[in-house]
C-alpha cells in the first residue's frame, strides 16, 4: 500500500498527460494521413483554445464558455486550413509545410500581442477541477477522467471512420488522393472535416490539460504539440490507434523517468525514444503499409 | 498613455513659447531601461519598470553641472531571452543613454553586459541577484542583495523556523537564476547539517506533479523552488491539488501578485525572501498606488491590481540612484557617470544603498521574509532574516 501510494502519482500523471497528448496527436496523424502534411500549427491551435477559455469566462458563464471554446477552436482550425493550406493544394509539399510553420508563428505572436506576453491563469472548471483522493493519492478529478474520456472519444472516432459515409471518404482520400477525387469525393469538404475533428479534439485536450497545468502562455502549445507529434510518429504517423498508444507510452515513460529521479533527462528520453524507434522500425509501431492511413 | 504624453508635451511647448525664455530644445538626459516586458519574466519586468516610471513622474528633471535636464526613460523589451536581450541592449547604446537600469533576471543582464561594456555605458542592476552579473567588471553595478546571500538567508530560515533537515530543490535547466540560487541554498543548508534532494525541469515544462510526488516520497521538510513566476503558478496549483503539506520556499522572483493570485484560497504555505515589504514606507506606498491607479495600462502592467511589488520599490530606488550618479558626475557623459557611481550613496525606500569597491555590489545585510496569506490573497510579513555566522 505504501509502495502504491508512493508510485501511483507518477503513473496517474503519466496516463493523464498521455491522454492529453493523444488528443493532440490524433489531429497530427489524421491530417498527415490525408494531406501528407505535418500541421505545425496544431500545437498553437491547442494554445488558442486555452486562451479563448481564459477570455471567454470573463464575459459568459462556464456552461456557455465550454461549448464556445469548442466551437471557436474548430472555427480557427477550419479557417487555418482554408486560408493557409487550401490555396497551396497543388503546390509542392514543402511550401505547405512552410505555410504551416508561418501559421504557427502567426498564432503565437498574435497571442503574445493579446496577452502582453504574460501567463494567464486558466479558470477553474467546476467538478473536474475538484481535488479527490484515489488509493491515498490526492489529485484533481480531471487526472482520473482523462484516460476514460480519451478512450471514449477515440472509439467514437474509429466508429465514425469505419461506419459512416464521410469516414469512408476519408479512408479513400488517405489511400489515394487523386483517384478518390476522380471518384466524385468532395475532397475539400473531407479535408475541412479532418481539420474540424482535429481541432475539436485539441480543444477537448486543452480543457483537460489546462485544468491540471493552469498557466497559459503564447508558447505553451509548443512542448505538448512537439510531444504529441513525436507520439504520432512513434505510433506510426497516419494511424489513429498508433498515435493514441504512442501518446500513452510517451506520457507514462516520461513520468516514470521523473519518478526514478532522472528529472533532467525526462525530455531527452522522449526524443531519444523517437530516434530508437525510427531506427528499428522506420514506419513507427503501427505504421505498416497495410494500415488504414486515416 | 501616448495621448497623455502628447498632451503633456504640447502643453509644455505652449508654456515654453509663452514664457519665451526657455530654449526651444530642452536639454534631455536619457536613462535606458533594459527590462523584460514579455516572456518568462515579463510580469516582474513590467512591475520593475513601473517603479522607475513612477520615480520619473515625481522627479522628471535633474540638475547636472548647473544645467537642468529633462530625464527621459528609454524603455526596451529584452523579452526575458538571453538571445534577444543583446539586441535590445544595443539599441540603448545606440540611442546614447547615459546609464542603464536593469534587468529583472540575471541571465539577460549577463547576456547584455558586454554590449554595455563595449558601448561604454554603465548599468545598474536592479534585481538581478546572480553574482556573475557584476563579477570581474567595472561597468555593472547592482542595488540588490546577491544569490549567495539570499540562498543562505533561505537556508537559515528553513532550518531555524521549520527545523528542516531535508530540502527538495527544484530549478530550471539552463536558467542562471534558479540554478544559482539552488546552488547557494544547498551549500548553506548542508553547512547547517541538512540534506538536499535536487531536481531540474526542462524549458516549457508545465507538469510539476511528479516533482511534488518525489518531494513527498523523499520525506522532505521544505520545497525550495526559486523559479520564474510562470512555472511558479503551475507549481502552486499542483502542490495544492496534490495536498503538499510542506512549505514552499522561493526567492525574490516569487514576490509578485501572480503568486498571490495562484495561491489565493488554496491550501499551500509559501515563504519568499524579498527586498521590500509593503508598508515599509507609507509615502512611497500611497504615491505608488495612486500612480498605478491613475492609468489602466499601469494597472494591467502591475498584474491587474495595486499591490506593490518589491521590484517596483527597487526600480524606484534604482532611478534615484542613477540621478545621484548623474548629479555627482556633473555631466551626461556615460564614462563620467560610471566613475561617479562608485561613490554614490542613497537612502532609498528599500534601505541604504552603497556600492562595495570590488564589484560594485550593494552592501546589504538582511532580507525580508514574507508569507502568502491564502485567505486575503496578500503578503504577511514574517521576519527580517539575517545569516547566522
DSSP conformation class of B165: S
* Cβ pair B234:A117 closer than 8 A: no
Q: Is a pLDDT exceeding 90 seen at residue B141?
A: yes
Distance from CA of B129 to the nearest CA of A (A): 22
Question: Does A290 map to a domain?
Answer: no
**Distance (Å, rounded) from C-alpha A226 to C-alpha A254?**
14
Question: Does A25 map to a domain?
Answer: yes
Task: Give residue A130's pLDDT.
Answer: 82
Is residue B229 reached through a cis peptide bond, with omega within 30 degrees of 0 on the bond before it?
Answer: no
* Sign, CA torsion A149/B267/B156/B110: positive
Question: Does A101 map to a domain?
Answer: yes
For residue B374, what are the contacts with CB-CB under 8 A and spacing of at least 6? B263, B264, B265, B266, B267, B268
Task: Give residue A167's pLDDT.
Answer: 92
Q: Is a pLDDT exceeding 80 seen at residue B10?
A: no
Question: Does A285 map to a domain?
Answer: no
**Distance (Å, rounded) from C-alpha B264 to C-alpha B262?**
6
Q: Give me the number of domains chain A comprises.
A: 1
**Distance (Å, rounded) from C-alpha A22 to C-alpha A221?**
14
Residue of B nearest to A10 (CA): B210
For residue A17, what are the contacts with CB-CB under 8 A and spacing of at least 6? A209, A251, A254, A255, B207
Q: Is a pLDDT exceeding 70 seen at residue B67?
A: yes
Residues B273 and B368 sit within 8 Å (Cβ to Cβ): yes
Task: Give residue B118's pLDDT.
Answer: 92
**Which cell goes with B214?**
518525489
Check if B237 contacts A (Cβ < 8 Å).
yes
Residues A137-164, mean pLDDT to the nearest whole number: 91
Q: Which residues pair with B249 in a beta bridge?
A: B224, B271
Residues B157 and B371 sit within 8 Å (Cβ to Cβ): no
Distance from CA of B251 to the nearest CA of A (A): 19
Rg (CA), chain B: 21
* Contact residues on chain A for B79, CB-CB shorter than 8 A: 117
Closest-CA residue to B384 (of B225, B287, B277): B277
Residues A246 and A18 sit within 8 Å (Cβ to Cβ): no
- How far is C-alpha B319 from the geometric centre of its chain's CA atoms? 13
- Band (B278; pLDDT cuts 50, 70, 90): confident
Residue pLDDT, tens place only, A11-30: 888 999 999 999 999 999 99
What does pLDDT average to over chain A? 88
Closest-CA residue to A150 (of A294, A47, A20): A20
Q: Which residues pair with B197 in a beta bridge?
A: B168
Residue pLDDT, tens place only, B164-196: 899 999 999 888 889 989 999 999 999 999 999
Question: Does A294 map to a domain?
Answer: no
Which residue is associated with the grid cell 558626475? B329
Q: Is a pLDDT exceeding 70 seen at residue A154?
A: yes
Distance from CA of B81 to the nearest CA of A (A): 12
- Band (B16; pLDDT cuts 50, 70, 90): very low
Cβ–Cβ pairs < 8 A, chains A and B: 101
Residue pLDDT, tens place only, A35-65: 888 899 999 999 999 999 999 999 999 999 9
Q: Which of residues 126-185 of B touch A (CB under 8 A)?
A: 173
User: In terms of residue numbers, what domain contains A179?
Assistant: 2-280
Question: Does A120 map to a domain?
Answer: yes
Q: Is a pLDDT exceeding 80 seen at residue A75?
A: yes
- Band (B222; pLDDT cuts 50, 70, 90): very high
Distance from CA of A49 to the nearest CA of B (A): 17
Instruction: Report strand pairing: B61-64 vs B67-77.
Output: antiparallel
**What angle separates helix A42-56 from helix A222-234, to the nearest 10 degrees?**
140
* Contact residues on chain A for B300, CB-CB shorter than 8 A: 116
Instruction: Report strand pairing: B123-125 vs B140-142.
Output: parallel
DSSP per-residue letters across B307-362: PPPHHHHHHHHHHHHHHHHHHHHTS--HHHHHHHHTT-EEEETTEEEEB-TTT-BB
For residue B285, what are the contacts with CB-CB under 8 A and spacing of at least 6? B278, B279, B308
Partner-chain residue, chosen from B200, B205, B213, that has the shortest CB–CB distance to A9: B213
Q: What phi and psi, each to the nearest 5 degrees, are found at residue A131?
A: -85, 130
* Cβ pair B237:A213 closer than 8 A: yes
For residue A142, what are the contacts with CB-CB under 8 A and spacing of at least 6? A16, A128, A129, A208, A211, A212
Task: Give residue A88's pLDDT.
Answer: 92
Question: Does A292 map to a domain?
Answer: no
Q: Is a pLDDT exceeding 70 seen at residue B226?
A: yes
**Which cell goes with A59?**
464575459
Query: What CATH number has the domain bearing residue A92?
Result: 1.10.3470
Question: Does A288 map to a domain?
Answer: no
Q: Is a pLDDT exceeding 90 seen at residue A77?
A: yes
Q: Among B25-29, B112-116, B200-204, B281-285, whose mean pLDDT is lowest?
A: B25-29
Residues B341-369, mean pLDDT to the nearest whole number: 87
Q: Is a pLDDT exceeding 90 seen at residue B71?
A: yes
Amino acid at each position: 500500500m505504501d509502495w502504491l501510494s508512493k508510485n501511483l502519482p507518477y503513473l496517474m500523471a503519466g496516463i493523464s498527460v498521455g491522454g492529453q497528448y493523444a488528443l493532440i496527436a490524433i489531429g497530427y496523424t489524421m491530417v498527415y494521413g490525408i494531406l501528407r502534411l505535418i500541421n505545425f500549427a496544431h500545437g498553437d491551435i491547442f494554445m488558442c483554445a486555452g486562451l479563448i477559455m481564459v477570455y471567454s469566462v470573463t464575459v459568459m458563464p462556464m456552461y456557455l464558455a465550454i461549448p464556445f471554446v469548442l466551437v471557436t477552436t474548430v472555427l480557427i482550425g477550419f479557417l487555418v486550413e482554408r486560408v493557409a493550406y487550401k490555396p497551396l493544394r497543388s503546390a509542392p509539399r514543402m511550401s505547405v509545410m512552410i505555410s504551416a510553420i508561418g501559421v504557427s508563428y502567426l498564432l503565437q505572436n498574435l497571442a503574445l500581442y493579446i496577452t502582453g506576453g504574460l501567463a494567464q491563469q486558466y479558470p477553474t472548471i467546476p467538478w473536474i477541477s475538484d481535488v479527490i483522493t484515489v488509493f491515498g493519492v490526492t489529485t484533481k478529478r480531471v487526472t482520473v477522467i482523462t484516460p476514460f474520456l480519451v478512450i471514449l472519444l477515440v472509439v467514437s472516432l474509429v466508429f465514425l471512420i469505419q461506419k459512416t459515409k464521410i469516414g469512408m471518404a476519408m479512408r479513400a482520400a488517405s489511400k489515394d488522393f487523386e483517384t478518390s477525387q476522380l471518384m466524385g469525393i468532395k475532397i475539400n469538404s473531407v479535408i475541412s472535416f479532418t481539420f474540424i475533428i482535429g481541432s475539436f479534439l485539441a480543444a477537448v485536450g486543452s480543457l483537460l490539460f489546462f485544468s491540471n497545468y493552469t498557466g497559459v502562455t503564447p508558447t505553451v502549445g509548443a512542448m505538448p504539440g512537439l510531444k504529441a507529434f513525436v507520439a504520432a510518429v512513434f505510433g506510426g504517423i497516419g494511424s489513429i490507434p498508433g498515435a493514441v498508444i504512442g501518446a500513452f507510452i510517451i506520457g507514462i515513460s516520461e513520468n516514470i523517468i521523473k519518478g526514478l529521479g532522472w528529472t533532467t533527462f525526462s525530455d531527452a528520453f522522449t526524443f531519444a525514444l523517437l530516434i530508437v524507434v525510427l531506427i528499428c522500425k522506420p514506419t513507427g509501431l503501427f505504421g505498416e503499409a497495410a494500415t488504414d492511413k486515416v | 498613455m501616448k495621448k497623455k504624453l502628447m498632451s503633456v508635451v504640447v502643453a509644455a511647448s505652449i508654456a515654453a513659447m509663452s514664457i519665451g525664455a526657455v530654449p526651444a530644445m530642452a536639454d534631455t538626459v536619457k536613462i535606458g531601461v533594459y527590462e523584460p516586458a514579455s516572456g518568462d519574466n515579463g510580469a516582474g519586468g513590467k512591475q520593475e519598470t513601473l517603479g522607475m516610471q513612477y520615480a520619473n513622474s515625481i522627479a522628471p528633471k535633474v540638475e547636472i553641472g548647473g544645467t537642468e535636464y529633462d530625464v527621459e526613460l528609454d524603455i526596451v523589451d529584452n523579452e526575458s531571452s538571453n538571445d534577444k536581450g543583446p539586441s535590445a541592449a544595443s539599441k540603448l547604446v545606440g540611442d546614447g543613454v547615459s546609464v542603464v537600469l536593469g534587468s529583472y533576471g540575471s541571465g539577460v543582464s549577463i547576456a547584455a553586459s558586454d554590449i554595455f561594456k563595449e558601448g561604454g555605458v554603465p548599468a545598474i542592476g536592479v534585481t538581478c541577484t546572480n553574482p556573475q552579473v557584476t563579477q570581474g567588471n567595472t561597468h555593472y553595478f547592482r542595488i540588490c542583495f546577491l544569490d549567495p546571500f539570499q540562498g543562505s538567508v533561505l537556508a537559515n530560515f528553513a532550518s531555524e523556523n521549520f527545523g528542516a533537515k531535508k530540502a527538495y530543490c527544484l530549478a530550471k535547466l539552463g536558467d542562471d537564476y534558479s540554478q544559482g540560487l539552488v546552488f547557494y541554498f544547498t551549500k548553506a543548508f548542508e553547512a547547517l547539517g541538512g540534506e538536499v534532494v535536487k531536481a531540474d525541469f526542462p524549458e516549457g515544462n508545465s507538469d510539476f506533479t511528479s516533482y511534488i510526488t518525489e518531494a513527498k516520497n523523499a520525506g522532505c521538510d521544505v520545497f525550495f523552488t526559486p523559479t520564474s513566476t510562470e512555472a511558479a503558478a503551475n507549481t502552486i496549483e499542483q502542490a495544492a491539488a496534490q495536498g503538499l503539506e510542506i512549505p514552499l520556499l522561493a526567492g525574490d522572483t516569487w514576490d509578485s501578485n501572480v503568486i498571490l493570485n495562484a495561491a489565493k484560497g488554496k491550501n499551500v504555505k509559501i515563504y519568499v525572501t524579498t527586498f521590500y515589504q509593503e508598508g515599509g514606507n507609507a509615502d512611497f506606498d500611497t504615491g505608488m498606488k495612486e500612480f498605478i491607479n491613475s492609468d489602466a495600462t499601469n494597472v494591467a502592467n502591475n498584474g491587474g491590481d495595486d499591490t506593490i511589488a518589491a521590484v517596483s520599490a527597487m526600480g524606484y530606488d534604482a532611478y534615484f540612484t542613477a540621478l545621484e550618479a548623474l548629479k555627482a558626475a556633473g555631466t551626461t557623459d556615460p564614462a563620467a557617470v560610471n566613475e561617479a557611481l562608485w561613490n554614490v550613496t542613497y537612502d532609498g525606500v528599500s534601505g541604504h544603498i552603497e556600492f562595495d569597491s570590488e564589484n560594485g555590489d550593494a552592501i546589504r545585510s538582511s532580507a525580508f521574509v514574507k508569507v502568502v496569506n491564502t485567505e486575503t490573497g496578500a503578503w504577511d510579513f514574517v521576519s527580517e532574516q539575517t545569516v547566522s555566522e
